[in-house]
Amino acid sequence: MVYDLIIIGAGPAGLTAAIYARRYLLNTLIIGKLPGGMITEAHKVCNFPSYNYISGIELMKKVIEQVKDLGMEIKQEEVKEIKIQQNKDFSVKTGKGDYIAKKIILAIGRKRRKLNVLGENKFLGKGVSYCATCDAGFFKNKIVAVVGGSNAAVTASLLLSEYAEKVYIIYRKEKFFRAEPAWIKQVEKNKKIKTIFNANVKEIYGADYVKGLKLDTKEDLKVDGIFIEIGSSPDEILANKLGLKKEKGYIKVNKKQETSLKGIYAAGDITNNFLKQVITACGEGAIAASSAYEEITKKKL
């Protein structure tokens, strides 16, 4: 079977592209490792039209439900390779099968950055976490730390304060630069949260589970868990294999979401567009699907 379109990635960009592809009556397959994408880890989304606030997982459940109600197929698989065939169609290989498409949309997003410090890998799942939304409930009446200074870090600390006895935020700069003032204000008012500026974690230690952190300020913090929220980086593997042009690791696209390789489009956090938000990812997904439809229609004519 040859699909008109295969969308790789099942986050906001990929799922919105699927909704638009359905409106264009394109025979479409969605392939994604994580249904809903990284936004499912967000404690609160407060800037998406129609909701004063909504959790990331709840928002994406609604989108996934909409996609499935439209009869769209989502395969929870990981794409290993994309090859161009002689007739210019694309072969998409996963760990479970091979698929063929006329056009491809890459909506593969970003992956979590790691601290790369002693003990991080050893205590993963034993006090080290990258998802406060997933794991906050395990730290009721405990002491925890959050590393980072972005919206993700400050909102994670606010969520954790609902469970933990005490929350440290450890940030390498002298003040918050990347977080929105509204979130910072809430953190400053929260008596459970203590901010430690100008500090970096050098080691995570413990026995069977995390017991504490060593900072480069020579401070030793006794904590039961650490949540790492230091941002993310573009998932470059497929882009590199395809030889796509990039900018600082992100896939270069034009206003039609076209990449440097004809027939392949990109949308969402993987692109070199400036604002990395749910709403912009959705917009890019819509544009990518529209552009793919336009090219498919031209070829048929």
State which amino acid sits at residue 195.
T
Residue 128 amino acid letter: V
Active site residue: 46, 69, 131, 208, which one?
Answer: 131
Whole-angstrom distance between the N-terminal and C-terminal Cα of the chain? 21
Q: Are 139 and 225 in contact (CB under 8 A)?
A: yes
The residue annotated as part of the active site, out of 135, 224, 235, 269, is 135
Question: CA neighbours within 13 Å on the CB side: how many for 78?
Answer: 4
The helix or strand, by DSSP H or E, that contains position 112, with its residue range, turns out to be strand 110-112
Within 8 A by CB and 6+ apart from 190, the residues are 157, 158, 161
DSSP 8-state secondary structure symbol assigned to residue 119:
T
CB burial readout 44-68, b (16+ within 10 A) else e: bbeebeeeeebbbbebbeebbeebe
Task: Name the DSSP class of 261.
Answer: S
Q: Return the structure tokens found at 258.
A: 């076209």
Q: Which of 98, 134, 216, 220 is catalytic?
A: 134
C-alpha 291/C-alpha 41 separation (Å) is 30
Q: Give residue 7's Cα distance to chain centre.
A: 16
135 noted as active-site residue: yes
The one-letter code for the residue type at 170 is I
Active site residues: 131, 134-135
